[in-house]
Homo-oligomer: A and B are copies of this chain.
Amino acid sequence: MPNAIRTPDAFAALGDPTRRLIFERVARGPSAVGALAAGLPVSRPAVSQHLRVLREAGLVAETPDGARRIYRLDPRGIAAMRDWLDNHWATALAAFERFVDELPEEDAS
C-alpha cells in the first residue's frame, strides 16, 4: 500500500480555511489548478501547495490531462474521516452506557 490514508492528516488538511475552500470547489466538480486559483484569493502556487497537502491526506486525486492537472475528489479521505467520527461516537456511547449501568471499573464485556 503505497499511500495509506492517515486520518489525522485529513483533519489537519481541512483545518485550514483556504484548503477547505479548495476542497469544496473540487467537490463541486473536477477542476484544473489555474481554474481553482482564479476563483480564490491566493496565488496559483499557493493552491498547488494546498493541493499537495490535500492529496497526501487522501482527500483529492490528480489526473494528468496534457499540460494540465485535473484534480478530483478522492472518496477515501471522506470515508476515513467518517469512520473516525463514527468510531469515536460509538466509543462515547459505550462509555455512557457503562456510566448508566453504574459499573465502577469495567474494561469490556
Which chain A residues have a beta carbon within 8 Å of chain B's beta carbons? Answer: 8, 11-17, 20, 23-24, 27-30, 73, 75, 78, 81-82, 85-86, 88-89, 91-92, 95, 98-99
Docked pose: A48 CA to B88 CA in angstroms: 21
In the complex with contacts A12-B15, A20-B8, A27-B78 CB distance below 8 A: no
Give 8 pairs: A residue, B residue, CB < 8 Å, sorted on A.
A8-B17, A11-B11, A24-B88, A27-B91, A27-B95, A28-B92, A30-B95, A82-B86
Q: A8-B20, A78-B85, A78-B88 are in contact. List 11 more A-B contacts (CB 8 A).
A: A8-B17, A11-B20, A12-B17, A13-B15, A15-B16, A27-B89, A28-B91, A29-B98, A75-B92, A81-B81, A82-B86
Residue of B nearest to A24 (CB): B88
- Whether B27 lies near A88 (C-beta < 8 A) is yes
Nearest first, the 7 A-B pairs at minimum CB distance are: A15-B15, A29-B95, A27-B88, A73-B92, A11-B14, A12-B15, A27-B92
CB proximity of A60 to chain B, nearest CB, Å:
10
